[in-house]
């Protein structure tokens, strides 16, 4: 993930300034009759990329897609006439288009645009307590793509510590953990004034009626059976915390 949500805003604003300036420059060239055709094409491209860059600063997915597509078109348009090193400025635009294409096509960047919650910065946090790293890696992108920030812990002790310090909006808790087992973790969280109001959802392969009853008695809000169904996971979380 990017370190800050503001990173994309900063990049989008910088690109908007660049494309806006380029648009004004080629607007002047467009007024010269001999250069109308070439400058007209670039004028349209810079104008569209300016609009797409502004959309990117507001985390609009269509803006990200438009910026990627337009830079592909822009790069292809400039490659043929400026394939030599005779003109540095067009070559720098080709290189910049390639960098923009690579940056905005990264999965970690795409994720930022796949939820409108990023715009308001109102990310709800989910603490996943599970010693299965492969499961955590599977669940993390699902949660992030739906607008949740993700905290992780791989043992019951660490989970309790993270819950106390970070105060997540909801906790996803495995039953079988190294050290303190999941149900005991849930009981301790519910006995602690700092964490008792945080809803806990167990996710485990154990799905017998007795197991689920024991989880509810420990203080859990709900139960999700492994393997995790992404739709069911999101539905349960939204049902509990109203997100």
Q: Tell me, yes or no, whether 134 and 183 share the same domain.
A: yes
In this structure, is residue 103 part of a structural domain?
A: yes
Q: What is the pTM of this model?
A: 0.55
For 139, other C-beta atoms within 10 Å of its C-beta total: 21
Q: Which residue has the tokens 């006439």?
A: 81
Q: Tell me, yes or no, whether 159 and 221 share the same domain.
A: yes
Range of the domain at 143: 123-241
pLDDT in tens, 62-90: 888 999 999 888 888 877 665 554 555 56
Is residue 149 within a helix (H) or strand (E), and if so which, with residue range? strand 148-153
Q: How far apart are CA 14 and CA 53, in angstroms?
A: 8
Q: Tell me, yes or no, whether 108 and 127 share the same domain.
A: no
Residue 1 has pLDDT above 50, yes or no: no
In this structure, is residue 222 part of a structural domain?
A: yes
The pLDDT of residue 82: 57
**Is the separation of the CB atoms in 182 and 202 below 8 Å?**
yes
Task: List the beta bridge partners of residue 225.
Answer: 204
In this structure, is residue 1 part of a structural domain?
A: no
Q: Tell me, yes or no, whether 59 and 100 share the same domain.
A: yes
Percent of the chain predicted with pLDDT > 70: 84
Residue 113 has pLDDT above 80, yes or no: no
For the residues 1-7, what does the mean pLDDT come to?
A: 50
For the residues 133-150, what does the mean pLDDT come to?
A: 87
Domain boundary among 57, 86, 113: 113
The pLDDT of residue 116: 44
**Is the separation of the CB atoms in 146 and 118 below 8 Å?**
no
């Amino acid at each position: 993930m990017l370190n800050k949500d503001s990173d994309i805003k900063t990049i989008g604003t910088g690109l908007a300034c660049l494309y806006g300036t380029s648009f004004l420059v080629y607007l002047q060239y467009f007024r010269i009759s001999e250069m109308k055709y070439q400058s007209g094409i670039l004028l349209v491209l810079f104008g569209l990329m300016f609009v797409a860059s502004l959309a990117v600063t507001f985390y609009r997915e269509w803006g990200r897609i438009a910026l990627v597509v337009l830079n592909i078109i822009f790069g292809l348009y400039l490659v043929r006439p400026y394939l030599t090193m005779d003109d540095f400025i067009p070559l720098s635009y080709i290189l910049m288009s390639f960098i923009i294409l690579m940056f905005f096509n990264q999965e970690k960047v795409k994720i930022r645009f796949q939820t409108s919650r990023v715009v308001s910065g109102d990310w709800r946090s989910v603490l996943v307590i599970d010693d299965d790293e492969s499961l955590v890696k599977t669940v993390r992108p699902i949660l992030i793509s739906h607008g949740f920030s993700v905290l992780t812990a791989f043992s019951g002790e660490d989970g309790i510590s993270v819950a106390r310090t970070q105060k997540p909006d909801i906790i996803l808790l495995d039953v079988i953990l190294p050290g303190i087992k999941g149900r005991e973790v849930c009981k301790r969280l519910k006995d602690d004034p700092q964490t008792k109001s945080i809803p806990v959802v167990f996710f485990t392969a154990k799905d017998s009626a007795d197991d689920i009853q024991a989880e509810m008695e420990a203080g859990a809000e709900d139960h999700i059976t492994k393997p995790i169904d992404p739709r069911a996971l999101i539905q349960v979380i939204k049902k509990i915390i109203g997100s």
